[in-house]
């Protein structure tokens, strides 16, 4: 646990996030972070024991901020199938703006720091929280099956979301991406069989 006052720790994490996003983990040094944060190198080590631990703390902070931003679209008065589409579109928009979270979900961080794979998996699981909430809302609303394995379905939907994002055509517009999202969720919710 950090012995650094919260305001200085937050400053270190904010500046570290900017530098890690710009230069990546390998090219970022503790000296770079200290300089940008306006603190001494020792102060950075008060925030985290190592560069790897600091990187993890930054990722944890970024995932929580991303999740909070996406959670704004969740309204239990709205049908859960509509909420899934809203959440997906919001998550997509926020992933475009957050390199660190996007790379975490794409598995880039595990490739860089394989020893931290378990901790990165915990962060990916944290990122499924909103999906699980919408699925539970859907069960309560009667929109989704009562026997739904919420955690596993959320994991599959997260993987599908990431696959759709990674495999999307580079030339696709926001409107095309939204259309693909609506069609994709229609397929998930209603399948290929006639209604």
| pLDDT confidence band for 3 (50 / 70 / 90) | low
Which of 189, 188, 166 minimizes the C-alpha distance to 177? 166
Q: Is residue 160 part of a domain?
A: yes
**Shared domain check, 137 and 41:** no
Which domain does 147 fall in, by range? 63-190
Q: Is residue 139 part of a domain?
A: yes
Which pLDDT value is given to residue 162? 77
Q: CA torsion 163→123→118→134, rounded to 10°?
A: -70
**Shared domain check, 173 and 137:** yes
Residue 80 has pLDDT above 90, yes or no: yes
Distances (CA, A) of 17 to 24, 100, 164: 10, 8, 26
**Shared domain check, 159 and 125:** yes
Q: What is the pTM of this model?
A: 0.83
pLDDT tens-digit series, residues 98-156: 999 988 988 889 998 999 999 999 999 998 999 999 999 999 999 999 999 999 999 99
**How many CB atoms lie under 10 A from the CB of residue 147?**
6
**Shared domain check, 67 and 44:** no
Q: Is residue 71 part of a domain?
A: yes
**Shared domain check, 87 and 15:** no
């Amino acid at each position: 646990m950090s012995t650094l006052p919260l305001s200085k720790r937050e400053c270190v994490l904010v500046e570290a996030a900017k530098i890690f996003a710009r230069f990546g983990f390998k090219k970022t040094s503790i000296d770079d972070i200290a300089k940008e944060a306006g603190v001494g190198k020792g102060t950075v080590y008060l925030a985290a024991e190592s560069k790897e631990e600091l990187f993890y703390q930054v990722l944890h902070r970024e995932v929580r901020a991303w999740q909070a931003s996406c959670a704004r679209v969740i309204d239990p008065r709205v049908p859960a199938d509509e909420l899934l589409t809203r959440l997906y579109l919001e998550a997509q928009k926020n992933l475009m703006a957050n390199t660190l979270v996007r790379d975490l979900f794409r598995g880039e961080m595990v490739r860089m720091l394989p020893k931290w794979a378990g901790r990165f998996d915990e962060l990916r699981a944290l990122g499924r929280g909103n999906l699980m909430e919408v699925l539970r809302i859907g069960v309560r609303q009667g929109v989704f099956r009562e026997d739904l394995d919420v955690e596993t379905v959320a994991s599959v939907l997260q993987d599908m979301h990431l696959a759709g994002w990674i495999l999307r055509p580079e030339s696709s517009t926001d409107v095309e991406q939204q259309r693909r999202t609506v069609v994709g969720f229609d397929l998930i919710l209603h399948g290929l069989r006639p209604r």
